[in-house]
Amino acid sequence: MREHSSTVFGEMSALAARTGAINLGQGFPDTDGPDVVKRAAIRAITEGRGNQYPPAHGVPELRRAIAAHQQRFYRIDIDPDTDVVVATGASEAIAATLLALLEPGDEVVMFAPWFDLYAAATSLAAATRVSVPLAGPAFRPDAAALERAVTDRTRVLLLNSPHNPTGTVFTRDELAQIALVAERHDLVVISDEAYEHLVFDGSTHVPFATLPGMAERTVTIGSAGKSLSMTGWKVGWATGPADLIAAVRVVRQHLSYVSSGPFQWAVAEGLALPDSYWHGFADQLQSQRDLLCAGLTAAGLSVTVPQGTYFATTDVRPLGYDDGWAFCRDLPDRAGVVAIPHEVFHDDPDAGKPYVRWAFCKRPEVLTEAVGRLRNAFA
Ligand SMILES: *Cc1c(COP(=O)(O)O)cnc(C)c1O
């Protein structure tokens, strides 16, 4: 695990603290989720629900709410008793699924840039990650390149749409091409859909399990942290066919055993919030995206406008840099802002070199201040 010992978030957050910079590095909202969901957590604590070890695979009320959510938004039918496991965030759900499905030496294919946990959890499973580039500046998936990366050792395809860090939302057509690869090579698919509700401009999130033939080979991952803006609560889940979920349950119960007791009850209420919540949430985030992207453009950066997630990506070359790392190291002193270089989400450091990720899940006044600083520094 030595290669995973430091994370860029530590270095960049320390830089932000030392310089007083605005931190657009780490992806957490600076506004909490709905008050009704907070009150539900307080009520659960007061009424003594979840203060002691909850059931190992999640409280039944939450498992039922997750199943109802999959039905309501995607017409996916799952059995809350056998097809759901609640975890300590999407993070533990992903790690437990990889540990459950992989033997040492197996290969996992994933698009790069990837979420850093994918690399570390693959190493924990003593498996080998194989990266397929999502090439900038468009960052669209290439199913033919994916298929070329598959070998007879490939066991798992790890997908993420809406995609962190690029903000790409895979289209139904792109997913259908990927599904053919999964089918031809008999891969199990882990579909990380943590940002399922954070999509913009009327684009739709297509769960991988809704593609023909994919439900029986797909473990879908969800996150209350992302969907309800409560990233500190660490409630996530995996859903899928009973045999795969049974394997995930065995591993997961030996990791954290259980977690987030009262918060599980609150998340069950949160997932049932009316459409007005979900639309308002995406609309608000979309306007923050627009504010940030306009400001980045005005500062002279070349922006790939994201269709989803918390993040926008820029190419830093128009500002005279050819290396995103060098740019991000200078940025706090030059402009009083922190961002994250794509390089840290790649095996091949040259692959993401000119690209930098910026988080817009921050209050409009914070984003306005940040883009003002960037304009003063660069424009
Ligand atoms: C934040 C994030 C997660 C982890 O979610 P938690 O519920 O906070 O553990 C998983 N995948 C992606 C792509 C993320 O950005």
pLDDT digits (tens, 9 = 90+) for 224-260: 999 999 999 999 999 999 999 999 999 999 999 999 9
The Cβ of residue 36 has, within 10 Å, a number of other Cβ atoms equal to 12
Residue 164: CB within 6 Å of ligand 1?
A: yes
pLDDT tier for residue 11 given thresholds of 50, 70 and 90: confident
Element (H, E) at 117: helix 116-124
pLDDT band at residue 351 under the 50/70/90 scheme:
confident
At 350 the pLDDT is: 87
Phi, psi of 103 (to 5 degrees): -105, 155
Give the pLDDT band (50/70/90) at residue 5: confident
pLDDT at position 10 is 82
Cβ distance 9 to 325 under 8 Å?
A: no
More confident residue, 10 or 307: 307
Name residue, tokens 């792109």: 174
Ligand 1 atom showing the smallest separation from residue 94 Cα? 10
Query: What does pTM read for this prediction?
Result: 0.98
pLDDT grade for 12, boundaries at 50, 70 and 90:
confident
pLDDT over 80 (residue 349): no
pLDDT (tens digit per residue) in 184-201 = 999 999 999 999 999 999
pLDDT grade for 129, boundaries at 50, 70 and 90? very high
What pLDDT is stored for residue 14 in this prediction?
A: 87
Quote the CA–CA distance of 283 and 358 in Å, as a whole number.
19
> In angstroms, what is the span from residue 298 Cα to ligand 1's centroid?
30
Percent share of the chain, pLDDT over 70: 100
Place of tokens 């957050």: 13
Alpha helices per DSSP H over 75-206: 89-101, 116-124, 143-149, 172-184
Distance from residue 376's CA to the centre of ligand 1 (Å)? 33
Closest Cα to atom 12, ligand 1: which residue?
194
SS (H, E, C) 283-330: HHHHHHHHHHHHHHHHCCCEEECCCECCEEEEECHHHCCCCHHHHHHH
Substitution candidate for ligand 1 out of 26, 223, 309, 311 with most atoms within 8 A of CB: 223
For residue 8, give the amino acid letter: V
Number of Cβ atoms within 10 Å of the Cβ of 26:
18
Report how far Cα 77 is from the mean position of its chain's Cα atoms. 23
- pLDDT for residue 147: 98
According to the model, what pLDDT value does residue 15 have? 86
Instruction: Report whether residue 314 contacts ligand 1, using a CB cutoff of 6 Å.
Output: no
| 49-67 per-position pLDDT tens digit | 999 999 999 999 999 999 9
The residue written with tokens 């809704």 in the block is: 210
Ligand 1 pocket test: pick from 164, 169, 190, 233 the residue with the most ligand atoms within 8 Å of its Cβ. 164
Q: Is the distance from the beta carbon of residue 225 to the nearest atom of ligand 1 less than 6 Å?
A: yes
Instruction: Confirm or reject: Cβ of 196 under 6 Å from ligand 1.
Output: no
Candidate of 97, 196, 226 to mutate for ligand 1, largest count of ligand atoms within 8 Å of Cβ: 226
Tell me what percent of the residues of the chain surpass a pLDDT of 90.
Answer: 93
How many angstroms separate the CA atoms of 362 and 30, rounded?
5
Higher confidence at residue 47 or residue 26? 47
pLDDT of residue 64: 98
Average pLDDT over residues 198-208: 96
Rounded-to-integer distance, Cα 203 and Cα 358, Å = 21
Stretch 203-207: mean pLDDT: 96
**For residue 379, what pLDDT is reported?**
83
